[in-house]
Chains A and B, each alone.
Chain A
Amino acid sequence: MSGVVGTGRSQGATWRVHGLSVRGYRHVQQGLPCQDAWGQVCVGPHGARVTVLAVADGAGSRPRSEEGAHLAIRLATSVFGRRLASFPTVPGEGDTLARLQRDAFREVVDTFLDDTRELAGDRGGPEDFATTLTVLALGPGWVGHTSLGDGFAVLRAGETDGAPQFHLLPQPEPPGEYGNETTFLSSPDAASRVRIDCVRDDGVDGVLLSTDGLAQAALSTTDGRGPAPNRSFAASVLRALDRPGPDPQADAEDLGALLRSHRLTALNADDKTLVRAVRGARREWGRGLS
């Protein structure tokens, strides 16, 4: 499927995961590759599995950001995966998970800088590989969120009047006034700008993780009070995973067509990545499911 960087499903895990990156119209016009990437890994013993999801958005202005995004994903899944594999089923004191995420993030940054210096050789440096990174760790009864840059994550948890509730996890403070200013793994202030959060909730049964290419579609700013999840978007893309069709490839193509649609391109012509994950019994929420 054109423009798809990767799709994957982990049927054996507690969470069913599907992700997709597509090249944005601007990159298509310029003949540039998709500079987004995503990845997942599932670790830990049976009954205490932890699913790690990660998305990265390579800086459009840097020459090797596509490599940077893929490297960030490889590092995030391996480092967070290794550290979380032995994480206790129930996090102990509140800050244990936060500390683990902070340590994992530092290791990712340090390795990213070492690897990109080596890749750059005498020409350029880590900044040529600039990329954002957002990582979600989905454990039994908890979610860890580590975010640098402008990626975002939405959780589905709880119901009101039978309708699922969606929650946007806090995003890092932007470093400047303008929408295209963000912080990258190669930025000197990455360690101080990363945002780390932990959610303890048994009721989280759906998540979305995305790069900023989907912010305008997946988030809403109607009330002028800062972004909140666009319920219709979250409900619709998760429903397709709650109740997948008979052909996984057709489902993936449907999501790809959504991400490349005129409607979404007009809101944001950047590359787009969406990772969606659901767990538990398949839900009957939404329209047209009978």
Chain B
Amino acid sequence: MISGIPKRPPVPPQDLPTQDMPASFNDIEIENNNAQRLPLLLLLDTSSSMAGEPIRLLNEALASWGHEIRDDPALGNSVEIALVTFGGAGIAIWQGPHELAPGAPVSPFVPAQLFQPPRLAACGVTLLTEAVETAIPLVAARKTELRRKGLQYYRPQVCLVTDGLPTDTAGRVTSAWRRLIPVLAAEQQAKRFRFYAFGIGGISEYGQQVLRELAPTYHATLQGFPFRDLLQTMSASAGAEQRGAEEETFEQLFARFKTQRSAWDA
């Protein structure tokens, strides 16, 4: 088993945020939510290999993580969540529990405070390449929107989770994913977002190679389907981003998985 995110020390009660603003300041009006935003896009494999127990675990983990992040005083107002799934016959973009119609002029990003996950089902092919190509402009569009609103934001995070190999629409394994390598490298170089790739379940050696090449620093292979741990790592990464952590901190978040992997191998 993977150990969870290290437990935080208990917070002394006197240091907890006070419930209300003091009465002497109750005429302060604050805009609804102008917190700095942190767009987080989950790119989830919902192809047939995820059917059964894996998709049940994923749905369960999304629901509990949704509660956690919503109630986190530091993340609830800041993190914005969008989902892109690849399975069935193609790609689906989710705004909370609702699937958006193709080309809908609406952002799929939902404030963590309001996030409710969809009920995902698993079947069909693994259009991983097309899913990544869908995600990149969604993130760019969200940043443009935030700038237009005069809101500051942190570097977005894109988290790819798959247990299989990229296929075409007929379900044949394809090497089209190779065209993503230079695109993702350029996006990372320009710091447009952080790109994380997780291989789960019984992902094959070739599947792991795909993730290694797409996310040379931030890839990890997890045994089983520890979605909760994986999503909590995204929360930890969001917290690190908020405090302006150095690259080394993000590497450590992933080193935890890699170390664990060595232990299993041993």
Q: How many A-B residue pairs have CB under 8 A?
A: 146
CB within 8 Å for A2 and B21 given contacts A61-B243, A233-B28 = no
Binds B, one of A23-31, A37-45, A136-144: A23-31
B29 to chain A minimum Cβ distance, whole angstroms, is 4
A61 and B30 contact, CB distance less than 8 A: no
In the complex, are the beta carbons of A267 and B27 less than 8 A apart?
Answer: no
Partner among A28, A236, A269 whose Cβ is within 8 Å of the Cβ of B16? A28
Known interface pairs A262-B17, A266-B73. Does A221 touch B22 (Cβ–Cβ under 8 Å)? no
Contact with B along A225-245 (1 / 0, CB 8 A): 111001011011100100000
Q: Quick one: which of B11, B73, B249 has the most chain A CB within 10 A?
A: B73
Alpha-carbon distance A168/B223, docked complex (angstroms): 53
User: B103 on the interface (CB 8 Å rule)?
Assistant: no
Interface contact B18-A267, CB-CB below 8 Å: no
Interface membership of B174, Cβ < 8 A: no
> In the assembled complex, which residues on chain A have CB atoms less than 8 Å from the CB atom of B244?
59-61, 180-181
Q: Which residue of A lies closest to B243 (CB)?
A: A60
CB of B120, distance to nearest CB on chain A (Å): 29
Asked if residues B36 and A23 are in contact (CB atoms below 8 Å), the reply is: no
Interface stretch (choices B60-68, B130-138, B143-151, B164-172): B143-151
Determine whether the beta carbon of B24 is less than 8 Å from that of A260: no
Q: Most A CB atoms within 10 A — which of B16, B27, B34, B191?
A: B34
Q: Please tell me if the beta carbons of A268 and B245 are within 8 angstroms of each other in the complex.
A: no
A257 in contact with B35 given A60-B243, A224-B148, A226-B150 (CB within 8 Å): no
Residue of A217, A224, A240, A261 with most chain B CB atoms under a 10 A cut-off: A261
- B205 in contact (CB, < 8 A): no
Residues on B with C-beta less than 8 A from A222 are 31, 150
CA of A117 to CA of B152, assembled, Å? 33
Residue numbers in A under 8 Å from B11 (CB-CB):
28-29
Q: Is the CB of B27 within 8 A of A266?
A: no
From known contacts A25-B17, A257-B18, infer whether A220 and B31 are also in contact, taking CB-CB under 8 Å: yes
The contact size tier of chain A is: 35 or more
- Classify the interface of chain B: helix, strand, loop or mixed: loop
What's the nearest-Cβ distance from chain B to residue A239, in Å?
9
Query: Given A2-B12, A179-B154: A221 and B31 within 8 A (CB)?
Result: yes
CB of A265 within 8 Å of the partner chain: yes
A233 and B34 CA atoms in complex are apart in Å by 14
Are A240 and B73 within 8 A (Cβ)? no
Q: How far is the CB of B47 from chain A (nearest CB, A)?
A: 34
A269 to B18, Cβ gap below 8 A? no
- In the complex the two chains form, what is the Cα distance from A179 to B36 in whole Å? 7
Q: Name, among B19, B242, B249, the residue most crowded by chain A CB atoms within 10 Å (CB to CB).
A: B242
Shortest C-beta distance, B54 to chain A (Å), equals 32
Chain B residues with CB below 8 A from A236, complex form: 24-25, 27-28
Q: Are B77 and A254 in contact (CB under 8 A)?
A: no
User: Is A265 touching B17 in the complex (CB atoms < 8 A)?
Assistant: yes
Given contacts A26-B74, A227-B150, A258-B21, contact A2 B14 (CB under 8 A): yes
**Do the beta carbons of A262 and B73 come within 8 Å of each other?**
yes
Nearest-CB distance from B191 to chain A (Å)?
Answer: 8
> Do A26 and B18 have beta carbons less than 8 Å apart?
no
Q: Is the CB of B36 within 8 A of A216?
A: yes
Q: Which residues of A contact B24 (CB under 8 A)?
A: 236, 240, 254
Taking A61-B249, A222-B31, A226-B150 as contacts, is the C-beta distance between A269 and B22 under 8 angstroms?
no
Q: Which residues of A contact B207 (CB under 8 A)?
A: none
- A240 CA / B68 CA spacing, docked (Å): 37
Closest to B29 in A: A232
Taking CB as reference atom, which chain B residue is nearest A253? B22
> How many Å from the CB of A166 to the closest CB on chain B?
13
Is B105 at the interface (CB under 8 A from chain A)? no
Residue-wise interface mask of A (172-184) relative to B, using a CB-CB cutoff of 8 A (1 in contact, 0 not): 0000111111000
Q: Please, which residues of chain B bring their CB within 8 A of the CB of A230?
A: 28-31
Q: A224-B148, A261-B17 are in contact. List 18 more A-B contacts (CB 8 A).
A: A2-B12, A2-B14, A26-B243, A28-B15, A29-B8, A179-B154, A180-B36, A180-B241, A230-B30, A232-B27, A232-B29, A236-B28, A258-B21, A261-B18, A261-B19, A264-B21, A266-B76, A269-B74
**B residues with CB within 8 A of A:** 8-9, 11-12, 14-22, 24-25, 27-31, 33-36, 73-74, 76-77, 143, 148-155, 191, 239, 241-246, 249
- A-B CB proximity, top 10 nearest: A179-B152, A269-B74, A60-B243, A221-B150, A180-B244, A224-B150, A179-B36, A265-B17, A2-B14, A232-B29
